[in-house]
Amino acid sequence: MAAARELRYESRRAVYGDLAYDLDREVREHALRHAGEAPRHPAAEKPAAPARPRTRVRSLTREQVRQHQKVSVLSFIGVCAAIGLAVLVLMGYIQLTAISSEVVDLQNQLKELQTENVSLTAQHEQMFDMSTVKEVAEAAGMSKPSGSQIYYIDLSEGDSAVVYQQEETNVLSRLLTSLNHGIYAVVEYFD
C-alpha cells in the first residue's frame, strides 16, 4: 500500500491546461508487475476456522449494596389514604349487596301480598253482596226496624259554643316553650 501511495503522488510537478493527474496509473503498473502470476484468493491462503460462539463473562469488581432509603411522610400518608379509600369502596359494595338482597326479598314479599290482596278483595266483594247480606241477617234474626224503633232529632234550633280566651304569656315563657320544642325535635330526629 505504501508503494501505491508513492507511485500515486510521485511526481509533484504542476500541470497546466486540460491535463489532469492520471489516478489509474498505479492500477495499471500493479497489473503489469503481476501479469504472469495466478490470481490469489483470500480464502485459499487461510483455511476458515469454524466460528465458535463467544461466551460473555461478567465479573463484579465489588459488591453492590443498596443504601437504606428513608420513607417520606407524605408517601406514607398517601398509601394510608389509598388503603382507607379502598376499604371505604369495599364497605360501600358490601352495603350495596346487602341492600340489593333486601330489595329482592321485599319484591318477593310484595308479589305474595298482591296475590293475597286479590283473594281478600274477592272475599270482601262476596261479603257485600246484598243477597248474601240479607240471608246472613235473616239467619241471625235481624229484621227491618219498625216505626216505634226510629227516633228523629230536631236540629232546627241554633247552636251555641263557649270559647275561653287563653291568658297572655310573657316573652320568657314563649322563648322557653320554643326552646323546649326545638330540643324535643332534635332528640326525635336522632332517635
Q: Give the model confidence (pLDDT) of 67-107 as tens digits.
A: 788 889 999 999 999 999 999 999 999 999 999 999 999 99
Nearest-angstrom CA–CA distance, 160 and 166: 19
Q: Which pLDDT value is given to residue 124?
A: 85
Q: Give the model confidence (pLDDT) of 28-38 as tens digits.
A: 888 888 887 77
Q: Give the model confidence (pLDDT) of 97-143 as tens digits.
A: 999 999 999 999 999 999 999 999 988 887 777 888 888 888 998 88
Q: Which pLDDT value is given to residue 15?
A: 56
pLDDT of residue 5 exceeding 70: no
| Grid cell at residue 149 | 224503633
Q: Which pLDDT value is given to residue 2?
A: 52
Residue owning grid cell 262476596: 126
Mapping DSSP to helix (H, G, I), strand (E, B) and coil, where does residue 39 land? coil
Those residues whose C-beta lies under 8 Å from the C-beta of residue 79, and which sit 6 or more positions away, are none
What is the DSSP secondary structure assignment for residue 148, as one 8-state letter?
G
User: Which backbone phi and psi does 33 adopt, to 5 degrees?
Assistant: -65, -40
Task: List C-alpha distances in Å: 30 to 33, 35, 36, 37, 84.
Answer: 5, 8, 12, 12, 87
Residue 49 pLDDT level (bands cut at 50, 70, 90):
low
Mean pLDDT of 8-35: 69
